[in-house]
Amino acid sequence: MAIKSIVPSVLTKNFEELERKVRILENLTDVIQIDIMDNELVPNISVKVDEIKNLVTKSKLEMHLMVKRPSEYIETFAEMGAARAIFHIECSEDAFETINNIRKLNMAPGIAINPPTSIEKIQPFLNIVDIVLVMGVNPGFQGQSFIPETLDKVRAIKAIKNDTIIEVDGGVNPETGPDLVKAGVDILNVGSYLFNGKSVEDSWEQMQKIIREN
């Protein structure tokens, strides 16, 4: 059984903000997710890849590629030393090929699925990815309300392949966290909740408490 954990995510258009948040988070965790958006797959854009290349951190990086053509990004992130690249089944490229290319570049491949997408779309890939990221909101913006049907999607994936490592991203906070863990989620991805309170450290501890108690 996988050890339950928290992974923080950073979504921003500004490199200085990205670096500031990473400096805070790397003192709390050894894995940080960076959100990458192209304004095509999702209606928002993130820090440019050319800027992200300048990011240095002692934490492992998990790159969440909310982009139409992940092949245009993965080589750069491999060169940065990213540990994992997660792409969306809704992208325009062949999923088998994308998974193989990520693995060839010595990163762990993950596949993400948006709320409207049926799990049948990702079922053929469950045996060949390291992780499945289930979106708890429609991607593109932080601070959205959690979609309750996400819990059903998590349970359905676990019913197909019980040892699938599932990460949920979007609307994760102390209110939704316990139900997610009970549904079978292995990794709680926390973004806006961490930075919207008085203290990132206190918010982080609140999320860790959920893992300990559930």
- Please, which residues have CB within 8 angstroms of residue 137's CB and are 6 or more apart in sequence? 115, 144, 145, 146, 147, 170, 171
Residue 11 and residue 142 in contact, taking contact as beta carbons nearer than 8 Å:
yes
> Whose structure tokens read 């609307």?
171
For the chain, the straight-line distance linking the first and the last C-alpha, in angstroms and rounded, comes to: 14
CA distance to 93, 116, 120, per residue, from 84 (Å): 18, 24, 23
What is d(CA 72, CA 111) in angstroms, rounded to the nearest whole number?
Answer: 16
The sign of the dihedral angle between the CA atoms of 109, 105, 45, 69 is: negative
Active site (annotated) includes residue 30: no
Active site (annotated) includes residue 169: yes
Concatenated DSSP letters for 75-138? Answer: HHHHHHT-SEEEEETTSSS-HHHHHHHHHHTT-EEEEEE-TTS-GGGTGGGTTT-SEEEEESS-
Catalytic-labelled residue, pool 169, 179, 186, 202 = 169
Catalytic-labelled residue, pool 35, 94, 179, 186 = 35
The residues that are catalytic are 35, 169
